[in-house]
Amino acid sequence: MKILFFSLIAFLTIGSSVAQSECHMYHKKNCDDKEGIMMKYDSQSKSAVIAKGQTSEFHLVAYRNLDYRVIICSDEVLGEQVQFKIYEKKKVYTHNKEETTSSEEEYSEESSSETSSKRSTIPEHRIVKELLYDNSTDNYSNKIEFTAETTMSLLIEITVPGDGGTSKLKLREIGCVGVLISHIKSQPTGF
């Protein structure tokens, strides 16, 4: 029995580190960026281990006057319908008595740049997120190209479908997800 326990532990531990190291630079190796115009690699790209049924957050700064391409790629084990939504994070100053509109959702962040400063008279605010894009309404496309009119603080929410699960053998249910971001200076279009 003991042998079984320790085999299980070793399996899980080694498996976990293998899974994590296998995800190292996963986005560079697996997110196909051959279609479309050539763009520069953006250092905000990232890979992570995600479990079925889990939602992970990814924060991104999109500068104005740049065109961005975001490609999400994932291990087969996670299925084909990885959902991703792009939100804009916004501050709503509470002293303005602004109401949250129907398209906005409260967003809780551990600490923003302006909270809890002891020395500043910083206005109170909440962070809300407003939905800009949802790939489930775009045939679960794994790629989007966009331009930001102003510099934007974006939140990419990635959800892997499936039962969050009570199974102990999480190894069966986890895989790599890569977010490859590239950018290029916006080119004016038209005559």
Partner 1 sequence: MKKSKLIAIFVFGSTIYACTEDVKRDAKEEAVNEKLTTEAEAPIKEHLDRAYYPIPSPEQMFGFISDNGVAYSNQLMNTTDKVESYTDPSAQALNFGVYTADLAYAAAYQDIEATIKLYKVVKRLGSEMNISEIMTQETMSKMQENMQDPDSLAVIAGDSYYQAVEFLEQNGQEGKLALMSLGGWIESLYITLNAIGDFEENPKTVQRIADQKITFGNLYTYLKKHEDKVGVEGIINQIHDVRDVFASLREERSGKATNTKENGKMVFGGGTKIAISKSQFENLKTAINEFRSKITAIEA
Asked whether position 177 contacts partner 1 by CB under 8 A, the answer is no
Kindly state the helix (H) or strand (E) to which residue 20 belongs, with its residue range.
helix 2-22
Q: Which of residues 6-35 bind partner 1 (CB under 8 A)?
A: 8-9, 12-13, 16-17, 19-21, 24-25
Pairwise CA distance, residues 156 & 152, whole Å? 12
Residue type, 112: S
The contact pattern for partner 1, residues 71-110, with x = CB under 8 A and - = no contact, is: ---------------x-x-xx---------x-x-----xx
Residue whose CB is less far from partner 1, 81 or 92: 92
Among 30, 67, 77, 83, binds partner 1 (CB under 8 A): 67
69 binds partner 1 per the rule CB under 8 A: no
Q: Does 114 bind partner 1 (CB under 8 A)?
A: yes
191 lines the binding site for partner 1 (CB under 8 A): no
Report strand pairing: 174-185 vs 125-134.
unpaired
Q: Is 56 in the site for partner 1 (CB under 8 A)?
A: yes
Distance CA 117, CA 123 (A): 11
CA distance 96 to 33: 44
Residues 132-171 that bind partner 1 (CB under 8 A): 132-133, 144-154, 168, 170
Task: Compute the least distance from the CB of residue 34 to partner 1, in Å.
Answer: 18
Closer to partner 1 by CB, 77 or 131: give it: 131
Which class for 178: exposed (0-12), middle (13-18), buried (19 or more C-beta within 10 A)? buried
CA dihedral 106, 109, 111, 115 (to 10 degrees): 0
Beta bridge partners of 162: none
